[in-house]
Amino acid sequence: MADKEATIYILDLGSSMADCHNGRIESDLDWSMRYVWDKISTTVAASRKTWNVGVIGVKTDDTDNPLDSQDGGEGYEHISVLQELGPMTMGSLTALRDSVKTSNTQIGDAISAIVLAVEMIEKFTKKLKYNRRIVLVTDGEAPIDNSDIDDIAQKIKRSGIQLTVLLDRGVDFDDSEFGFKEEDKSGIKEQNEAILKDLVEKCNGLYGTIAEAISELETPRVKSVKPYKTYDGLLTLGDPSVHEDAMSINVERYFKTHKATVPPASRVVMKTESSTNPSSVADGDGMQGVEPMPSFSAVKDARTYKVNDPDAPGGKRDVDRDNLAKGYEYGRTAVHISESDYNITKIETTKSFSIVGFIYEEKYEPFLNMGGTCMTVAQRFNDAAALKLSSLIHSLHELESYAVARIVTKDGKEPALILLAPHIEPDFECLYDVPLPFAEDVRNYPFPHLHKVITVQGNTITENHRNLPSLELQQAMDDYVDAMDISSWEKDDEGARTMEYAAVEDLFSPPLHRINQVIRHRATYPTQPIPPTPAILLKYANPPEDLVAKARSDLEDLIDKASVKKGKISLATTVIMLSTNIRLVPPKAQGRKAKGDKPRPISGLDIDALLKQPENKRAQISPDKAIPEFKQKVEIADNQADIEDAMKQMGAIIRGIVTKSFSDQDYERAVEHIGVMKETAIDYEYPDLFNKFMVDFKSRLLSGEFGGNRRELWWRIKSVKLGLIDSNASEPSKVTPEEAAAVSKTLSETLFLRYTADI
Amino acid sequence: MIMVDRWNPERRDEEEEEDEEDEFNETHYKAQKDALIFAIQVSDSMLQPPPKSEDKKANQDSATLTALKCAYQVMQQRIISNPKDMISIVLFGTEKTKVTDIKLPDSHCYLLTDLEVPAADDVKNLRGLVEEGEGADEILVPSKQPADMVMLLRLVLHLFQTRAPNFGSRRLFIITDNDDPCAGMKKNPSWDPAVRAKDIHDHGCTIELFPISHGDSKFDTSKFYDDIIYHDPVLDETNPGRVAPAKSHDGLNLLNSLVSNINSRQTPKRACFSRMPFEIGPGLTISVKGYNIIQKQAPARSCYIWLEDERPQVAVGETARLAEDSARTVEKFEVKKAYKFGSEYVYFTDEEQKSIKQFGNPCIRIIGFKDRSLLRFWASIKKSTYIFPSEDGYVGSIRVFTALWQKLLKSRKVGVAWHIARKNGNPQLVAVIPSRATSDEKSGTQYIPAGLWLYPIPFTDDVRDGPEIGKVIRTTNALTDRMNKVVQQLQLPGGAYNPAKYPNPALQWHYKILQALALEDVVPEQPEDATVPKYRAIHKRCGGYIQEWSQVADDVLGQIQEQKKIKREFEADNEDEPRPPKKARGTTTKDKNASEDGLSNAELRQRYDAGTLTKLTVAELRGAMNSRGLDTKGLKKDLVERLERWVEDNA
């Protein structure tokens, strides 16, 4: 069970807190509140009913606290309870944000506020188990009464409250990192600091500066998760139920690594007017002028089911979910499985953890790991198990071996194979394990050799080939890799480079902490833009600068020897000369159709020459084999007119496919044809020919010219990004990326025509 | 595994989220599906059974039948591994002609299985042919005149065009022993087979040849096949050379080599990213492609089936969005993304959303190199991605990549890199680990290609705390020595783990049952499970050693307990005693006093005997059970029952 918490923040709202110091443009209060808001919003985000927060203001204009009205309530003036102890919600956060404002007074005793906070906590928590905390944030500019310090400290200690005092502009820190020696410090302040420090020392509290606290916020907080047990029972070698001499050890297995979840975004819609609940606005005091956070409602999915029915309009018919049976697909055959047989395809297993055999450490590669790690330890308070497991751990360690084991974590669960490795520390031993791949999990993808080249003719080349590193390149690479070693690049406390750089402990998950940061920020400051990403999350995005500087000459040498060039290899620079429009086509970085580069028969047969034979020439593209014939027609085109003609014919063929398509049957085919057409238009730099087709095609589609509602097809085209060719994709295009996107998006015919009038 | 079918309407939501994912893929409009046509030659020599062999196990199948068996195996496998992919089998050179909806009279092509996602009936028919020889007399009869390659290629193009439009991968596997099928034709200027082959290639399909040679005869590809099989300088960077002929000395051998040849090409290679910048140092970038060589495969999800029509069919689901408060249907444009904060939502505009997720463009950026030993065994979080260089983007990538690969192997180092796999993707720190070539003797992973791997390193947020652990009880040298004997005796073959030996039993069983149901076969009783340890062999090889070990363990335990007793007497109380070992062995066991986690064994026993276990509070029960590793869920009476059982067995 999560611990219960009661935390009271005491905030100094004196008029002096409105000033700005140390070159900041924020007031001292706003600055200090950065820390407090962060803490409070973390509580809100956790949404725990047992985490209670109270807030007291000191040096407030008014006085509003229970002690003031009591007998002898002297010294409690200008102290207000801004929020009673209780769970934090977004609503109370909004209300609080409004009441935390600097006042016009400098009177109010911080020590009295502490006494008040202690009272509040005691009353609230009674004698129950709570984590009790008081956090005081002040600039220490107002007189405080130190007469009862000893008693108060005693009381704080007795109640088990942890007191933290955070001074705005602390002075006792000569530490260069945080210390601002305040030259014009007032006498009162000096005195107050001494009093507060004394109090903190007497009740074993914490004393620090806001600057320090804020800098701590930068280091992301790692949420600790309770150990999760994945298995407990016997670890066996052999089968104890059959063979007397089988080994069995009582063990427990826990997660060692497990992907921390990044808060997911939910899909929401704005609440409709009628459903907005007016009662959600708190008491009404001071809420005027507060812009309410837009109110959202979650989005649910409702699923409907359709089956093919040639007689139904559109070829599909709705069916009721309740009339459907459950089953699986075997190939394209639907295999129905009745409710009672539902587990028939599940393998029957019993909980077990059994060693299959042993392998050598050096014969295993970590990139075979299928996922996160678990740790296996002996059952608690079981000396026999601990001793036996220890002998296995040490044996594996001595023999530099790993164990392969089969584990079924619960009856009926799928069996898994895991690899167990020994781990020994002075006060701790365990077996770590990672999941192993099964036969089906490893794909057989053949790749050519890296250290030798086999030519088309079947000869093996091991040196002097553009794909093989020269000796000089290899040497330069060796030197560079050695120079960039970070095995001990991180500085230790003494500033010597002895620690591993980028060790796991130092790696914070950027997406996780970034999202938490912006959510908290947005909840606290709804009107402010999102803050920049903290540097600590981007620390490992680039190599350490000082190391790069050190390795500079090795890197320059490597770059020189590598002589890598951006762009794609081009065996023959292509010059396409067109009779009507003579242009030099520059070899493009990604052009796919450079002549020397395109696929050819292994024999080297001149296929272009073959296609140019009169009997192979295709004036008309046949709709049956439109794609190859279109490509070939363009490939051997002599002039622009030929290409234009090919594009025109292809367009007509595509329109034919769509018109004839029964429901969405031929949409994939249409998409493929459009894709080929677009690619070709880009490769041969005729974006306008394609764009003209596309604009015309879409307007016909929207007007229903292709027989019925074909919008689904447009959706498809858009989703696979087959809209207009913009000037990013092909330079000669007159369409900007924004225009292309707009044309893709709009489904309204009139709007569409307006967009495309000048294309 | 289930390939996420990106163009499937059901998947729209996810797809929109990962809008920019395919930024790096050139043919982004193509569906990530594969269509495979087996073209198997039928001729006298292909139907000739192999010469008699001494070996009793030798198969007497002809080359054609072997090829069909191979296709049958592939079909069964692919239903499991790639349920959306299509397979077809065409026999060419048959006496009978059978083609659908295209006019190819007397083509002597027999369309045995049409190009589609295989149905149960297809599997059944094929099995009938290869196992029972059903219809073999009719179908496997060679035509009088030689097979017509032009007809075959026309049929294949037709199938690819109409059955598999817009597939990302379409391949024709030709299995034949005839290296010159067009011997009779003149290579005239308009040589038809070459033009037909060009059509197939221009349609985005590839042809692969799986030659068979009989005895000592050579299969000479230059006679014909080099004219129809293409060499793509761009693709071939990542493709190995062509397939060597399978020899038909005896049947078994032929099947094995054919199966392994085809398996090596079976799965179409799909890059998970291409043209990825790999920044080795500031100012030195090369390009690589990434492949998911390791990929968890799980049974396909269940689906809903409509049974009212004559043939059962899968109902396709569609999602409508409803607002939770008012249950009104919501249009797509209305839907916003927000984060739950406490019980409320915090909202960001689309632009803000984008900028939150923005950690830079896709890349692999080396930030330094480390000794391999610094890669801790436990620092594992998810599967790795294989990368291979490509000249596509930066010329010289392959040689630089190779130099890096060799250096990392030589010095036993790994790179550490910042990796963003796709636009707007999350960054991950990865170790860049080299793998050895399969031909390398030192390699323990013969089934893995040489190259580099991106091995994700966990963030500190992903690391969990372990349970609280008491004082370590450590083994003695004598005891470890006994265990060493056991470990040394039970090495897996070659001292390495070979995944190929361990099919996933749950996955296999799932499909075996489905297949039996679909084909209306008898449902098998017992699953095959290669992952179950070989208990008999373990017992035979190590039974004695384990007993010895167990004996020594008991002795050591006795000593430990003795020491503890002395210590205990010394300290008067606060004793701590282990539970007796599993096999009760007369060693006197002392009970520990109530430790921080509750009751001692003796106390439990007393209470059990007196029947007062029920008097304990649930919290006390849980405490006592927790420390003994018992399940603490359920009602009080369950807890008491469970604890009673434990006391009976243990205390």
- Pair of tokens at residue A589: 């970085």
pLDDT beyond 90 at A685: no
Inter-chain residue contact A90 with B343, CB threshold 8 Å: yes
**Architecture of A5-218 per CATH?**
3-Layer(aba) Sandwich (3.40)
- pLDDT at B275 (0 to 100): 86
Question: pLDDT band at residue B632, thresholds of 50, 70 and 90?
Answer: confident
Inter-chain residue contact A45 with B157, CB threshold 8 Å: no
Residues of B in contact with A571 (CB under 8 A): 233
If you average pLDDT over every residue of chain B, what do you get? 81
Residues of B in contact with A401 (CB under 8 A): 487
Tens of pLDDT along A473-526?
999 999 999 999 999 999 888 888 889 999 999 999 999 999 988 988 888 888
- Which residues lie across from A9 on neighbouring strands? A55, A135
H-type alpha helices, A311-382? none
% of chain A residues with pLDDT over 90: 29
Angle subtended by helix axes A210-218 and A28-46, to nearest 10: 40
Contact residues, A window 678-697, toward B, CB-based 8 Å cutoff: 679
User: In whole angstroms, how far apart are CA B421 and each of B274, B389, B390?
Assistant: 10, 16, 16
Of A299, A504, A540, the CB nearest to B323: A299
Instruction: Assess whether B30 carries a catalytic annotation.
Output: yes
pLDDT beyond 50 at B155: yes
Of A305, A601, A674, the CB nearest to B316: A305
Closest chain B residue to A274, measured at CA: B326
Topology of the domain comprising A224-265+304-446: Ku70; Chain: A; Domain 2 (2.40.290)
More confident residue, B183 or A416: A416
A389, A405 Cβ separation under 8 angstroms? no
Q: How far is B148 from chain A (nearest CA, A)?
A: 19
In this structure, the strands spanning A374-378 and A247-255 are antiparallel
Place of tokens 């008040």: A116
> What does the DSSP 8-state code read for residue B132?
I
Of A344, A512, A613, the CB nearest to B461: A512
The CATH code for residues B591-651 is 1.10.720
Tell which residue, A189, A198, A221, has the closest CA to residue A28.
A189
First to last CA, chain A: 66
Of A267, A443, A474, the CB nearest to B403: A474
A583, A575 Cβ separation under 8 angstroms? no
Tens of pLDDT along A362-401?
999 999 999 999 999 999 888 899 999 999 999 999 999 9
Q: How far is B246 from chain A (nearest CA, A)?
A: 17
Given this structure, which CATH class describes domain B279-293+361-462?
A: mainly beta
pLDDT beyond 50 at B422: yes
A272 reaches B (C-beta below 8 A): yes
Tell which residue, A174, A223, A235, A168, has the closest CA to residue A196.
A168
H-type alpha helices, B572-615? 601-610
Topology of the domain comprising B34-269: Rossmann fold (3.40.50)
H-type alpha helices, A351-433? 383-398
User: In whole angstroms, how far apart are CA B424 and each of A745, B4, B20, B356, B427?
Assistant: 21, 19, 7, 9, 9
The residues, ordered by sequence, that sit 6+ positions from B589 with a Cβ below 8 Å of its Cβ are: B561, B577, B578, B579, B580, B601
Residue A55 backbone dihedrals phi, psi, to 5 degrees:
-135, 130
- pLDDT at A73 (0 to 100): 61
Tens of pLDDT along B59-90?
678 889 989 999 998 898 888 888 889 999 99
Of B305, B309, B353, the CB nearest to A325: B305
First to last CA, chain B: 48
pLDDT beyond 90 at B589: no
Nearest-5° Cα angle at B313, B308 to B316: 110
A527 reaches B (C-beta below 8 A): no
- Count of H-run helices and E-run strands, chain A: 20, 24
Delimit the domains of chain A by residue range: 5-218, 224-265+304-446, 595-756
B482, B552 Cβ separation under 8 angstroms? yes
Inter-chain residue contact B367 with A540, CB threshold 8 Å: yes
The residues, ordered by sequence, that sit 6+ positions from B415 with a Cβ below 8 Å of its Cβ are: B366, B368, B369, B404, B408, B431, B432, B452
Phi-psi region of A126 (alpha: psi -120 to 50; beta: other; left: phi over 0): left
Tens of pLDDT along B310-321?
788 888 888 778
Residues of A in contact with B262 (CB under 8 A): none
A397, A434 Cβ separation under 8 angstroms? no
B582 reaches A (C-beta below 8 A): yes
Place of tokens 């396909």: B300
3-state secondary structure of A164: strand
- Interface ipTM above 0.90: no
- pLDDT at B402 (0 to 100): 95
Inter-chain residue contact A259 with B241, CB threshold 8 Å: no
Measured in whole angstroms, the distance separating CA B74 from the mean position of its chain's CA atoms is 15
Q: What is the pTM of this model?
A: 0.80
Contact residues, B window 259-278, toward A, CB-based 8 Å cutoff: 263-267, 269
Which residue ranges does chain B devote to CATH 1.10.1600.10?
Answer: 467-574
User: In whole angstroms, how far apart are CA A711 and each of A581, A707, A716, A718, A724?
Assistant: 38, 11, 9, 11, 17
User: In whole angstroms, how far apart are CA B624 and each of A232, B380, B620?
Assistant: 16, 34, 6
**Mean per-residue pLDDT, A698-725:** 84
Interface residue of B76, B82, B325 to substitute, partner A, most A CBs within 10 Å: B325
More confident residue, B617 or A559: A559
A721, B29 Cβ separation under 8 angstroms? yes
**Mean per-residue pLDDT, A93-102:** 86
pLDDT beyond 70 at B232: no
B250, B50 Cβ separation under 8 angstroms? yes
- Look at A612-621, A685-694, B207-216, B382-391 and tell me which has the smallest mean pLDDT: A612-621
Q: Measured between alpha carbons, how far is A171 from A132 in angstroms, rounded to an integer?
A: 28
- Pair of tokens at residue B84: 């959306």
- Look at A237-241, A437-441, A576-580, A632-636 and tell me which has the smallest mean pLDDT: A576-580
User: In whole angstroms, how far apart are CA B2 and each of A271, B6, B54, B297?
Assistant: 37, 11, 45, 7
A325, B307 Cβ separation under 8 angstroms? yes
- pLDDT at B590 (0 to 100): 36
Which CATH number does the domain B467-574 belong to among 1.10.1600.10, 3.90.79.10, 1.10.10.10, 3.40.50.10800?
Answer: 1.10.1600.10
A594, A574 Cβ separation under 8 angstroms? yes
B108, B97 Cβ separation under 8 angstroms? yes
Inter-chain residue contact A440 with B81, CB threshold 8 Å: yes
- Which residues lie across from A330 on neighbouring strands? A333
Q: Measured between alpha carbons, how far is A34 from A12 in angstroms, rounded to an integer?
A: 14
Furthest C-alpha separation in chain A: 115
Q: How far is A387 from chain B (nearest CA, A)?
A: 5
Tens of pLDDT along B386-416?
999 988 789 899 999 999 999 999 999 999 9
Tell which residue, B550, B542, B603, has the closest CA to residue A388.
B550
Residues of A in contact with B268 (CB under 8 A): none
Q: Measured between alpha carbons, how far is B122 from B75 in angstroms, rounded to an integer?
A: 9
The CATH code for residues A595-756 is 1.25.40
Residue A89, H or E segment: none
DSSP-assigned letters across all residues of A495-543: S-EEEPTT-GGG---HHHHHHHHHHHHHHH-TTSPPPPPPGGGGGGGS-
A663 reaches B (C-beta below 8 A): no
Which residue ranges does chain B devote to CATH 3.40.50.410?
Answer: 34-269
Q: Measured between alpha carbons, how far is A141 from B234 in angstroms, rounded to an integer?
A: 74
A444 reaches B (C-beta below 8 A): yes
If you average pLDDT over every residue of chain A, what do you get? 82
The residues, ordered by sequence, that sit 6+ positions from A446 with a Cβ below 8 Å of its Cβ are: B239, B240, B264, B265, B449
Inter-chain residue contact B553 with A480, CB threshold 8 Å: no
- Which residues lie across from B230 on neighbouring strands? A601
Inter-chain residue contact A486 with B370, CB threshold 8 Å: yes
A669 reaches B (C-beta below 8 A): yes
In the set B30, B247, B564, B565, the catalytic residue is B30
